[in-house]
Chains A and B, each alone.
Chain A
Amino acid sequence: MTTAERSKANPKTADFGASLTFDLSRPGRRGVLLPEPDVPQAELPEPRFLRSDLELPELSQNQVVRYFLGLSRLNYGVDTGFYPLGSCTMKYNPRVNEDVGRLPGFTLVHPLQPQATIQGALAVLHQLQSALAAITGMDSIGLAPAAGAQGELCGILMIKTYLEERGESDRRRKVLIPDSAHGTNPATAAMCGFEVVTIPSDRVGNTDMAALESALDDGVAAMMLTLPSTLGLFDPNIERIAETLHRHGALLYGDGANQNAFLGRARFGDLGFDVVHLNLHKTFSTPHGGGGPGAGPVCVKAKLAPYLPAPVVEADGDTYRLATPERSIGKTTAFHGSFGVLVRALTYIRSLGAEGLRAVSENAVINANYVLARLRGAYHLPYDHPCMHEVVFSGSRQRAKGVKTLDIAKRLIDYGFHPPTIYFPLIVDEALMVEPTESEGKEALDAFCEAMLAIAREAKEEPELVRGAPYQAPLRRLDEATAARRPYLRWRAPAQGESA
């Protein structure tokens, strides 16, 4: 096939995305037939609450079903294929999680029911608290935060409150953050009013200990550290880092986004962390992406337990109750957080057991190192040593030939794979961050590696082909720059005679 032939959009799906339900609308069409009312009609609300300018689309029921089913068939998810999106841990979500999560005892309870009638649901939360405490080596767990970033916010707010009560908050104004950190870390520290101080990585990609020592003084509140780092490296100095911080009266915050790498192998608490958040939708296989509910429990040492976000579940023998810790930073979500997600996470933990969780991290690390070994000849590996659960390549060799990392990612779509994370971490030029997770067997990893090797060859021999990708996707290369520069924030009906 020539480049020109490939450049024609996939005919099966070519017109998708062009039409909206509004475009299919015809006046008077209805999706449901409502029965005649058999009760007296109520007064309509005040006219100011009634709007006639919404121009809602009018469609038949089968049009609506076909429209949305058609869109859903364009979806790519972990249920349709390999999804190596680095730092996001897009692992397979076992169906048993859904079986349990959909039990009527969990789905039909109401958060305002008397606690005596929801003892089973509270027992689940309490068991999950205990399981996460055992896994992380921390003393107390708050399940309320609805996502990783909210867990971070809670963690740093707790540190802030702790320092206030010790009378140290006026001078401890700084939070240290490595240059490889997730962007949420500095955002969290800044939101809590701290000054962010960036700590560089050393030559091998770990925390630069000399830079850390020189940044430390009695003005430092905490350091936020991701373990293993976003480079997929387990910092061998971690205990020394914790000890150094504590010597200066500062706390160590752990970003647990990468917990999948050492599940059942090491514990944040034993390594010297004071507070850590977990991402249940990453490590503990709850549904993930699309903006759906996540859960970012915050796990703390005893000295921070009084500040946990409310509620926490306390047990008195066989009786469970919701409690607000005495100096809680407050509520972060309505009611009890993402309860359905928490049920699924406990199901995952209980169905795998301790040995199963150890096998998760082992397979996640082996899979990432397999990809590292197969691709290191074709793609530059800036930190060239064995990795943990993810591997970060650089597209710098391909870039020298005029093919950017973005082009490689788009070309992977033609080979049927979700692209890896690109341009992160920021300290790697043209970064390509691959996280296979433990879910994939050797065949899937080989197919992905073959595609990556084929793209590396194409970048050398047929760079134009890679630069024009994707060819097989419903839509060709999207204009991300214009979408960001001049976003359409609201749909408007095209004027008469104008095309949509």
Chain B
Amino acid sequence: MIIPPDLRYTKEHEWVRLADGPSAGSGQAIGTVGITDYAQDQLGDIVYVSLPEAGKQLTQLAVFGEIESVKAVSELYSPVTGKVVEPNQALTDSPELINESPYEQGWLMKVRLADESEIHKLLTAEQYSDYIEREGE
């Protein structure tokens, strides 16, 4: 199971990646959000994802969308508070990108963070790894 060390994770199996660069720390940080390799493996073949439009306000750990696999429909929880900058349009025609590439091409949305310090409330890669190990028991 791939769990990149540089991301932060929710217990609901979403990840967020902060872009490095001049905007970091300026209140303008952009985060990319997706679901984890473990989540896509548990869900099975993903057939549809419902994402918010650009401009939509998000609250940390509140539902922002839905993801449907051949097994079930599940809710998506935002790792951060902020505003949607861009949903991943490619997923409309190719939801399988989430299965094939959950951390790269299968990203769900980019978000302008309201409060970067919220990141510290999320799990580190190591904590997430321990969490899914316990959940699997």
Contact = CB atoms under 8 A, between A and B. Distances in A.
Contacts of A406: 44
A33 interface: no
Interface in A434-481: 480-481
A424 B72 CA distance: 9
A426 B44 CA distance: 14
B45 interface: yes
Interface in B41-76: 44-48, 68, 70-73
B116 interface: no
Given A485-B95, A485-B96, A480 B72 contact: no
B48 A485 contact: yes
Contact of B70 (A183, A424, A426, A481): A481
A423 B47 contact: no
Interface in A398-419: 404, 406
B22 to A, nearest CB: 39
Interface residues of B, number: 12
A423 B48 CA distance: 18
Nearest to A480: B70
A65 interface: no
B106 to A, nearest CB: 14
A484 interface: yes
B88 to A, nearest CB: 15
Q: How large is the interface on A (under 10, 10 to 19, 20 to 34, 35 or more residues)?
A: 10 to 19
Interface string A40-60: 000000000000000000000
Interface in A298-325: none
Contacts of B70: 480-481, 484
A484 B47 contact: yes
A426 B72 CA distance: 8
A183 B72 CA distance: 10
A211 to B, nearest CB: 17
Given A423-B72, A426-B72, A484 B48 contact: yes
Nearest to B135: A429
A397 to B, nearest CB: 13
A406 B70 CA distance: 10
Interface in B62-98: 68, 70-73, 95-96
A74 B126 CA distance: 52
A409 to B, nearest CB: 12
B9 to A, nearest CB: 20
Contacts of A183: 73
A208 B32 CA distance: 36
B47 A485 contact: yes
Given A423-B71, A423-B72, A426-B72, A481 B96 contact: yes
A49 to B, nearest CB: 37
Contacts of B48: 484-485
A383 to B, nearest CB: 15
Nearest to A426: B72
Interface string A420-436: 00011010000000000
A90 B116 CA distance: 54
A275 B96 CA distance: 43
B135 to A, nearest CB: 9
Contacts of B44: 404, 406
A28 to B, nearest CB: 42
A481 B47 CA distance: 6
Contacts of B45: 480-481
Contacts of B73: 183
Interface of B: 44-48, 68, 70-73, 95-96
Interface of A: 183, 404, 406, 423-424, 426, 480-481, 484-485
9 contacts: A183-B73, A423-B71, A423-B72, A424-B72, A426-B72, A480-B70, A481-B47, A481-B70, A485-B95
3 interchain residue pairs of minimum CB distance: A481-B45, A484-B47, A423-B71
Given A404-B44, A481-B70, 6 more contacts: A423-B71, A426-B72, A481-B47, A481-B96, A484-B68, A485-B47
